[in-house]
Amino acid sequence: MASRIQQLAQPKPNRLRYPDRRSVYWLDKLPPERSGLTTKIELTPRWSDLCISKKFYNQVTISPIWEVSEWALKAVPSKRVCHLAQPRAPAAGWQPARPLLVPVSRGIQTAVATSRIRQLAQPKRRQVLEKSRHKSKHAQVIHLPSKASAHIELLATPKNDHPEFKGDRPMCWPVSKAAKSYITSQRLLDLSSPKERKALYEGYDPYMISQAARSASPSPRIQQLCLPLSRKCSSE
């Protein structure tokens, strides 16, 4: 028995070399063999007309006015054409636009306003107390007497600042005499100086681990934090 590798190494069989193989398109007999070249296509008269290239007319009209034929001169329009040629009549209630300057009638010129119309024509006035109109243009508004409740008065009371509140510090303040005469200690000078390291070409190794880091031992707290979380079992 051939192994799996030998079976997969075999080429695929050619299924087209058997012409008598049945297909789903014919079940009773084989299709007839064709003799000759490809299928001949006959063009219809309409297709033949469409295949002809279009003709371009190079004739240029010299004048837009052309001669009217004799039949057009003797043509008589029908009743339908005469009816369509009539302009469209306006609507039944249509009126022409009113002119901008309309003459005022005699009745309007001699009209006398009633007491009601005079009352409505008066501007609205506020209840104000006018004081020394000739001296001041502003008028004092009269407010109706009102009294706020105790809760509103409590809410209207402004809040007091905290006893330890300090305002904004000014941007420019005087420097104290002690700050001017302060002398830094040697410890501050040592801490402020940058750490000296050798360059790579001078023998500096950035991957070198110090002896203290090699002999360091973690504390019990670090060992406790390194432990994985205790998960509950599914049986519980």
Q: Average pLDDT by consecutive 10-residue portion of the chain (236 residues)?
A: 82 70 58 69 86 75 79 91 91 84 86 90 72 52 77 91 87 89 92 82 81 90 89 56
Q: What is the per-residue pLDDT for 18?
A: 60
* DSSP H/E element including 178: helix 177-180
Helices (H), 65-149: 70-73, 79-85, 106-109, 115-121
Q: Are 190 and 183 in contact (CB under 8 A)?
A: no
Q: What is the per-residue pLDDT for 83?
A: 92
Q: What is the per-residue pLDDT for 11?
A: 86
- Buried b vs exposed e over 120-157: b needs ≥16 C-beta within 10 Å? eeeeeeeeeeeeeeeeeeeeeeeeeeeeeeeeeeeeee
Prediction pTM value: 0.19
Q: What is the per-residue pLDDT for 145?
A: 75
Q: What is the per-residue pLDDT for 220?
A: 93
